Structure 1
């Protein structure tokens, strides 16, 4: 049986009359990385601060490595929870070397035992122990912060949007390296982020938070391909939502009769189509007019208008060159679509 390293049960937290967490239930297994994903103000940071012990919960309980740290038995202070936090800015001690920063929470035996060098190698900074923080780039400072969190082998590592201040290319490289380091060290982690790509690419599971409630929790592919609600569909990636009617397990839509992913009751529904499901061709399918096209290098997003005025967004590879505004194309849909009861 998989060991639970973090368990939240019915956790609530409010600031005055404003609820921040409204009954949170979450489990994180040993060695997994859970991404808590949501918009600004949804309660992500409050959740992290409650797990770390910086905030007291109003009700419910939190267990770390099988030990209750918040709940009916009282509030265990942060320094006694053995939970490591990697903040947004790294928060290194400027007067200490890289090695001394990493070894700050270790006893003398652990310092001499090679743990500092081990975790620096894990984060790609082998040989950097003698440098000072001001001699490092922003990305390197974040790697040191991760190494410092891993050094004492805590049961849980909390990552508070640690890549948000970095440029896009560096952010992508660091995500992959940090995920590899966490996995290599067998660490259990919770990543708090508002970046959908970050959550989907790094996590073993994604918990989508909205207004202090978890609206869906599952594997990244599940959350993306089968979002629980239209709101989740819009938040986790680009979404095309169309009115439709279910007829004998098929959705009748402005783009024709489309197969459904999962059962749906007959009658009015809203269907979800991801932009990459739309295929454009000179002929065939439903006729649409190109409104505009945004080129992103690896792909292009094309906004289209059907004859009834319905707007669509298609994501395509740049195979046939740019499509000018006003051009007529045929649109077809690849794969099944997700249906939600009633109009959105």
Structure 2
């Protein structure tokens, strides 16, 4: 019968393992320091959401108002519309943009002409390096009813010009699909890495048994990259209410504001333009809490259904 290790033995093993891997631990030190400085120290300012902040008095001397700003947001006429717009935009983007990089990676991985595959990869990666400001300028210019190339094509085939950016029905589609165009290539990189880790012997054995390319993808490639896809899906669900501010704000105008006003743009307007820091902090904290709860729920469901989870 084996003797159970004592606490002293366990402690000794831990110390020896730490000394053995000291160089690896040292690599973690800069990341830990930066995370502490930029992620943990700013948490001190979260209390602004519970105070009527006065810059002259400072954070701790500003009067405590409790849940006042949260109640104000929940009772605001903008609450339902901003939450609805954010959820629709986020879910729409998740449903569309999540599977496309996987499909692209699987298709290019089975494409045997390496030269053409590299060309396709370069073309799909390139839009990711366009800044958000430049990209939004391109979108507005291309969709312009007077000088836009899209409307010139429509007019050439007999369809009258359309002011796309003024149509609420088009705004979400423009936002999501231009995002897909910009991010698909770069998002597929991690799936290429996962596919590169699959043993070639599995493909060779399947080919000997007469498997087609589609069967290789369905029964080998796809199942083996699913853990990676699951982790990325969990992380995306953890930011369900964190739709990017820059693109939404730059594509927003008075004619499409009813569908383009999301939490991040609303926080910018009340916090920086109206100088209501406490109110905007309360909205941001509410947003963070919802994202955290969603992350925990999706992670728990994924762990029970597939065994893949972040923790």
Q: Same fold (TM over 0.5)?
A: no
Q: Comparing both structures, which one devotes a greater share of its residues to strand?
A: 1
For CA contacts below 8 A with separation 6 or more, give which structure has more relative contact order.
Answer: 2
Q: Comparing both structures, which one devotes a greater share of its residues to helix?
A: 2
* TM-score normalised by L of structure 2: 0.22
* TM-score normalised by L of structure 1: 0.20
Instruction: Decide which structure has the larger Cα Rg and report it.
Output: 2
